[in-house]
Each structure stands twice: as structure tokens, then as C-alpha cells.
Amino acid sequence: MQTRTDGRLVRGDQTRRAVLRRAVDIASVDGLEGLSIGRLAGELEISKSGLFAHFGSKEELQLATIRAARRIYVDAVVEPALAVEPGFGRLWRLIESWLDYSQRRVFPGGCFFAKVSHEFGARSGPVHDFLVSVDREWLGLIEQCAAEARAAGELTADPTQLAFELNAFCESANLASLLRDEIDTVFSRARQSVRTRLEAAATPGATLPWA
Amino acid sequence: MQTRTDGRLVRGDQTRRAVLRRAVDIASVDGLEGLSIGRLAGELEISKSGLFAHFGSKEELQLATIRAARRIYVDAVVEPALAVEPGFGRLWRLIESWLDYSQRRVFPGGCFFAKVSHEFGARSGPVHDFLVSVDREWLGLIEQCAAEARAAGELTADPTQLAFELNAFCESANLASLLRDEIDTVFSRARQSVRTRLEAAATPGATLPWA
DNA sequence: AAACTAATAATACGACCGTTCGTATAGTTT
DNA sequence: AAACTATACGAACGGTCGTATTATTAGTTT
């Protein structure tokens, strides 16, 4: 056994990390099915069998890839928002972080979850179920932030409805940015929609974060 | 050569139609890559080589599948709206038709174009380009309907911005309906968002189609 | 240094992929 | 009836897929 660091084997864990880092990038462009073990091993210049041994099955690799993507997503989108105190400001920061996450291509294929959720949306099985739970987490978080802002008296709007709409703007901007050349135009249009929607939802007289 | 009917060969054309009808359904669930020639031939109980001969390449099959899906889409969504006279009513009908098209699963995997646009959004090539052009058509149509309503004095809003937002509600409802159990809830929430947005955009005093 | 174990590699397998080829059939044209 | 063409078929190709088995390397422990 290797020297342990926090309960994980060093050598194997490093390989695993390297594999997953590459895997999320590939999957964000070509999907979790397009993510083939042979291709992944080829790009990393390791053996297919050695890579396979880390996961035991393709499905396990896919699930591990989603977990890895989720971690990156949390770092890029959720954490920056949680650093802001609850209320209108946090809600706005959350959406702003998301748009930034998509726009600056944290994953080369745009939002990882938009991609693979569409890939597995109409199927069944563990991968689908996992993606459903991540989606629930995400929408729940927006909703919770909206509810906090409402509790603070900064917002008058149904949190569920508002969360649906803000998330819709994000998703739609992400796809449009993949299909159009003028990426910046797409995102500034989305930001405009977000601002307008939040202004309409804000309690009259409340100070708006972008003002 | 077979007896001709309107310039098309009868026997071969029937097969082609049957293939494409099945192809769009498969692709809406498993994508245009998941759409394999062997599987398609198997389900239709015809030979793989015979099917292949109709298209000459996988990519041609994919393009033909998109064309077929576009026809179905136009019939289900665009035509019903064009039957309404230009203005606020047509714009509303267009969006309503779309939500209905997704909700009643004209394609078993939800919106065909949402699915395959995400599949090919981050790639390049003829399939990507075709999907881009279809997306442009669609958003252009919403925008045009909004512009007509504005010209008729029924609406005060930037058509581009409004089109982006309405389309976002549609796309987002489609995905959410694939990931959640409560499909009807999802769509009634989307309809609520559409109505509210259109009310805000309407010229004061205008009669609203759903009232 | 020997024993042990975790990590990686080599090799092979059957299944399916898109594609090609040669051939048979069926319907049309002359 | 003969020539021709569209359509479909079965078999096979090289390649890649996910997976299993077996061997080899590297690192730790004793």
C-alpha cells in the first residue's frame, strides 16, 4: 500500500483525479456516451485496462464524472454566492455566477449539466436519477435564496416561479451561446432579462446590487 | 423505375418515410448518435444495407432525420400559429402551441431540437450548422410575431428580448418535464410565466387572448 | 532482502459500429 | 421478350466499444 494522505491511496488517487478532470471536459462536449474508455485512455496516454480498473464499469465512470463535475460546479457557482450574505444580493450573485460559469467556459462544452441532462433526460437508470437529484439541488438552491430575500423583505415574488424563470434564462443563454457566434451578445441579453425580472420582483425602494 | 407520384419513387419513398418516422422518435430519446443504423434496421425489420443505401452515410441519415423532424415541428407548432391573424393573438398561440407540442410528446423524448441541439451544440460540421439554422428560424419567427404585435400597437416590448425570454420558458419547461414526475405542474408553471410576461409587455388596455 | 499489495499494463473476447460489395428481385421501359 | 433500373438483401470488412483475465511493475512493510 502507498503512503496514505487522508485515507486515500496516493498514486491511484492522482490517476483517478487526472482521469476525471479530462472526463468532465470530454463529456461536456461529446456527452457521457461519447466519453469512451478507449478514447479517454488514449488522450491521457495510459492503458485502457488500467483506467478501467479504477471504475469497474462504464456506468460507474459516468457517475464518477458527474460527481466530479458537480464539485467543479459548486466551486464555480455556489460557493461565490454563499460568500454573500443571504438576501437579494446572494440571489443575484448566484445567477450572475452561473452566467459567468457558462460564459467563461468552465467546461469547454458550456454547462456540463445542461448537456448531460438533455442526454439522459428521457432515459431511465442510475445516471438519469443522479442528474435529477442534482437538478433538484440546483433549483432548490435558487428557490431558497429567493425565499431568504423575501423573508428579508427585499423581494415580493413567488420563489418557485422566480426560480423557474431565472433558471430558464440561464439555460437558454447557455444553449444560445453554443449555437451563435456572438457569445457576449447572448449573455448580455440574458443579464438584461435577469435584471428586469429581479427589478419587477424587488420590493419598491430596495437597493439593487448592480446599481 | 416505379410509377411516379409527384416526382417521387413510390416504393423507395415509402420505406424512406417509414425509416425517418422511426428515426426521429429514436433520436428524440437517444440522440442522433444513439440512432444507429443497425438498430434502426432491426426495429423496422429491414436489412441494414438496404436502409443504408437510402442515405449513403450516417451523416446524411442524421441530416434527413433533422429535416423530417423539422416538418413535424412546423406542422405541430408553426402552422397552428400562422392560422391566427398576426398580432398578439398569433404570438401567444405560437408559444402555446410549443408548450403543447412538448407536453403531449409529439416526440417521445420531448422536444427533438432541444435534445439534438444540446448533443451537437459544442461540435462542428454540417449537422451542427443545420441545427443552428433551424434555431435561427425558430427564434426569428417568435421575434417576427412579436414585432407584428408591436406594429399593431398591442405590445410594447423589445421583440428580441421578449423572444429570448419566451423561448427560455419553453426550453426550460421541456427539460424540467423530462426530469420531474409532475409534468403538468411544470407546464402550468411555464404557462404562468408566459402569461405574466406577456401581460407586462402588452399595451395597457389591450385584450388578452386567454382572458 | 523478501513478502506483500496496490496500481498499471498486456492481451483477448464477443458485440456492435458504419460501410462496401456482389447479388437477387421486382417493376418499368423499349 | 429483352434491357434496364430501383430497391432490397446477406455477408463481410476493419474498427471501436465495454469488459474480463492474466501478468507486470512499483511501493510499502516486515
pLDDT band (50, 70, 90) for residue A210: confident
**What's the 3-state SS for chain B?**
CCCEECCEEHHHHHHHHHHHHHHHHHHHHHHHHHCCHHHHHHHHCCCHHHHHHHHCCHHHHHHHHHHHHHHHHHHHHHHHHHCCCCCHHHHHHHHHHHHHHHHCCCCCCCCHHHHHHHHHCCCCCHHHHHHHHHHHHHHHHHHHHHHHHHHCCCECCCHHHHHHHHHHHHHHHHHHHHHCCCHHHHHHHHHHHHHHHHHHHECCCCCCCCC
Fold of B4-201: Tetracycline Repressor; domain 2 (1.10.357)
Residue A168 has pLDDT above 90, yes or no: yes
pLDDT tens-place string over residues B122-146: 999 999 999 999 999 999 999 999 9
Which residue of chain B comes nearest to A160, CA vs CA?
A: B189
Q: Residue A2 CA to nucleotide C2 C1', Å?
A: 18
Per-residue model confidence (pLDDT) at position A11: 66
pLDDT tens-place string over residues B30-46: 999 999 999 999 999 99
Answer whether any strand D atom is within 7 A of the Cβ of A37.
yes
How deeply is A177 buried, as exposed, middle or buried, from its count of CB atoms within 10 A (0-12, 13-18, 19+)? buried
Per-residue model confidence (pLDDT) at position A208: 83
Which B residues between 2 and 31 have a beta carbon under 7 A from any strand C atom? 2-4, 11
Residue A74 has pLDDT above 50, yes or no: yes
pLDDT tens-place string over residues B168-182: 999 999 999 999 999
Asked if B161's CB is within 8 angstroms of A193's CB, the reply is yes
Residue A12 has pLDDT above 70, yes or no: no
The C-alpha atoms of residue A145 and residue A160 are separated, in whole angstroms, by 11
Closest alpha carbon to B150 in B105, B63, B91: B91
pLDDT tens-place string over residues B57-109: 999 999 999 999 999 999 999 999 999 999 999 999 999 999 999 999 999 99
B69 Rama class: left (phi>0) / alpha (psi -120 to 50) / beta: alpha
CA closest to C1' of C5 belongs to A1
Nucleotides of D under 7 A from a protein CB: 5-12, 16-22, 27-29
Q: Residue A122 CA to nucleotide D14 C1', Å?
A: 33
Which B residues between 111 and 170 have a beta carbon under 7 A from any strand C atom? none
CA closest to C1' of C27 belongs to B2
Per-residue model confidence (pLDDT) at position B192: 98
The answer, for A167 touching chain B at a CB cutoff of 8 Å, is: yes
pLDDT tens-place string over residues B145-172: 999 999 999 999 999 999 999 999 999 9
Task: Indicate the angle between helix axes B183-201 and B88-103, nearest 10 degrees.
Answer: 170
- Which of A156-168 are b and which e, b meaning 16 or more Cβ less than 10 Å from the residue's Cβ? ebebebbbbbbbb
Which A residues between 98 and 157 have a beta carbon under 7 A from any strand D atom? none
How far, in whole angstroms, is CA B56 from its chain's centroid? 26
Residues 16-75 of B with CB under 8 A from A: 28-31, 33-34
Per-residue model confidence (pLDDT) at position B210: 82
Partners of A8 in the β-ladder: A5
Nucleotides of C under 7 A from a protein CB: 5-12, 16-22, 27-29
pLDDT band (50, 70, 90) for residue B11: low
Residues 74-103 of A with CB under 8 A from B: none
Residue B8 has pLDDT above 90, yes or no: no
Show residues of chain A in contact with B168, CB under 8 Å.
165, 168-169, 171-173, 193
Answer whether any strand C atom is within 7 A of the Cβ of A54.
yes
Domain boundaries, chain B: 4-201
Per-residue model confidence (pLDDT) at position A10: 61
Which residues, other chains included, contact B147 with Cβ-Cβ below 8 Å and sequence gap of 6+?
B159
Residue B7 has pLDDT above 80, yes or no: no
Which residue of chain A comes nearest to B194, CA vs CA?
A: A165
Question: What are the angstrom distances between the C-alpha of A10 and each of A21, A46, B146, B153?
Answer: 16, 17, 59, 69
Asked if A190's CB is within 8 angstroms of B161's CB, the reply is no
Answer whether any strand D atom is within 7 A of the Cβ of B15.
yes
Asked if B193's CB is within 8 angstroms of A164's CB, the reply is yes
Which residue of chain A comes nearest to B200, CA vs CA?
A: A200
Answer whether any strand D atom is within 7 A of the Cβ of A39.
yes
Q: Per the structure block, which three cell numbers stand in for A167?
A: 433558471
Per-residue model confidence (pLDDT) at position B124: 96
pLDDT tens-place string over residues A96-117: 999 999 999 999 999 999 999 9
Answer whether any strand D atom is within 7 A of the Cβ of B18.
no
Q: Residue B68 CA to nucleotide D8 C1', Å?
A: 23
Per-residue model confidence (pLDDT) at position B84: 97
What mean pLDDT is predicted for residues A80-85?
Answer: 98
Closest alpha carbon to A19 in A29, A115, A104, A47: A47
Asked if B168's CB is within 8 angstroms of A193's CB, the reply is yes
Shortest distance between the Cα of B14 and any Cα of chain A, in A, equals: 29
Shortest distance between the Cα of A185 and any Cα of chain B, in A, equals: 11
The answer, for A183 touching chain B at a CB cutoff of 8 Å, is: no
